[in-house]
Amino acid sequence: MFESLFDIGLLVLVFYYLVGMIPSVLAAIDIMKARKDVKHKIVWLFICLVLGLIGVAIYCFVEKRKVASGPR
């Protein structure tokens, strides 16, 4: 009985991990395409990959807000 619960739990964990990685990969692609200097890209890649979904949310809130409001 417990083996099947462990297998289901492991599948759910893998599913959530993969779902969480998709936004991180998309953010990494967006960061690499940005016309910014290398230091800026490295910092954002580090933030997004270490913090996961929270890092992606911070990136979207900070960087995408700059693009939407236009140059200052």
Determine contact, residues 3/10, Cβ cutoff 8 Å. Answer: no
From CA 27, how far away is CA 2, in angstroms rounded? 38
30-63 confidence digits (pLDDT tens): 999 989 999 999 999 999 888 888 999 999 999 8
| Domain-wise residue ranges, the chain | 21-72
More confident site: 28 or 17 = 28
What's the confidence (pLDDT) of residue 63?
85
N residues, the chain = 72
Determine the pLDDT at residue 70.
62
In terms of Cα–Cα distance, which of 44, 46, 54 is closest to 20?
A: 54
Q: Kindly tell me if the per-residue pLDDT of 11 is higher than 80.
A: yes
Q: What is the per-residue pLDDT for 61?
A: 92
- And the tokens for 29? 């692609």
Q: What count of other Cβ atoms lies within 10 Å of the Cβ of residue 17?
A: 10
Tell me, yes or no, if the pTM score tops 0.75. Answer: no
Single-letter code of the amino acid located at 65? R
